[in-house]
Amino acid sequence: MLNPNIWRSQQRDYHWHGQRIGFHDEGQGPVLLLLHGLPGSSWDWHRLWPMLTGQFRLICPDLLGCGDSDKPAEHSYRLQDQAQRVMDLLNHLDIRQCQIIGHDYGASVGQQLLANPGTVHISRCSWLCARSGGEAKHFLWRELLLAGPLGLLFSHCITEGLYGRYLETLSGPYTPISSQTRQDLWQLLCAHQGRQILPLLLQYRYELPLSNEKRLITATANRTAQQHINGEYDPLSKRSRQQDTVQRIKTGHFPHLEDAEHLAMLLIDFHRDDGADSQAVFQNLLNSRDG
């Protein structure tokens, strides 16, 4: 497991209208844009990182308000604005074509990009444990409190213990997130007073019905290949989509943290475009990593 402090020290900076966006850019090959969930950061992808960098160029930002990116208290965190910041980063890196992997909140940002791709052609998308709408059933009660009128007050009451229990609730019974990982995730959440920004970020709940996310997915399905992966034990995404439209993995809400090897096989198989044997490719990656 990559130490989050090492991960953070390797970030690059992109400045967007005076706001710092931290991001990683590593590997060679087709561009894969990785968009993390909420609460989360680019470090959420660290278990997948060594299995993907040998095949893809990975672009992985800390979305504004998350990780080591700036977390301004007076700012717009609308999905459309987050998507525009990501699009501007891709333009800054002179990227004209990419594929997307988005988890949870990152899937919603990615779907905004897919609906308004601008100058970047998006060829394939994987959505991990995406939420289908802003209805209360798609959110835990803690998230509903944070997204409500008393969200700022409630954010001051969040402790490491409460956050750890939140992660336990969302993870699968056979793939628990380790105590060390929970501690690392907590430190990343608290960086730059991040707890106070959670109520602003969670306002995206009210955007989902307005942005008509289901229509966006349907409208773009014919021109863009899309993969939906849900954790079998995820209490959120299992309510969000019909059983026959997704691939299921025996995890909770965080397949990239709970069973990265299995998830990597599914992602490599979908995102490789040359028809190579993904099982052989994946085994070679594991061998090189272990060696």
User: Would you state the structure tokens that stand for residue 281, as one six-digit string?
Assistant: 């490719």
pLDDT in tens, 271-281: 986 444 445 45
Instruction: Tell whether the model's pLDDT for residue 208 goes beyond 80.
Output: no
Whole-angstrom Cα distance, residue 50 to residue 34? 14
Q: Does domain 4-290 have CATH number 3.40.50.1820?
A: yes
pLDDT in tens, 54-77: 899 999 999 999 999 999 988 889
Residue linked to tokens 């306002």: 203
User: DSSP string of the chain?
Assistant: ---HHHHHHT-EEEEETTEEEEEEEE-SSSEEEEE--SS--GGGGTTTHHHHTTTSEEEEE--TTSTTS---SSS---HHHHHHHHHHHHHHTT--EEEEEEETHHHHHHHHHHHS-TT-EEEEEEEES----SSGGGS-HHHHHHHSTTHHHHHTT--HHHHHHHHHHHS-TTSPPPHHHHHHHHHHHHTTSGGGGHHHHTTHHHHHHHHTHHHHHHHHHTTSEEEEEEETT-TTGGGTS-GGGSEEESS-S-HHHH-HHHHHHHHHHHH--S---HHHHHHHHHHHHH-
| Structural domain spans, the chain | 4-290
Rounded to an integer, the average pLDDT of 34-51 is 96
Rounded to an integer, the average pLDDT of 120-134 is 87
Strands in 247-249's sheet, in edge-to-edge order, are 12-16, 19-26, 57-61, 31-35, 97-103, 121-128, 225-231, 247-249
Instruction: Tell whether the model's pLDDT for residue 9 goes beyond 80.
Output: yes
Instruction: Tell whether the model's pLDDT for residue 154 goes beyond 90.
Output: no
pLDDT at position 98: 96
Query: What's the angle, vertex CA 17, arms to CA 13 and CA 19, rounded to 5?
Result: 45
Supply φ then ψ for residue 25, to 5 degrees. -140, 105
The separation between CA 266 and the C-alpha centre of its own chain, rounded to angstroms, equals 16
Q: Which residue has the higher pLDDT, 149 or 19?
A: 19
pLDDT in tens, 222-241: 578 999 999 999 988 755 55
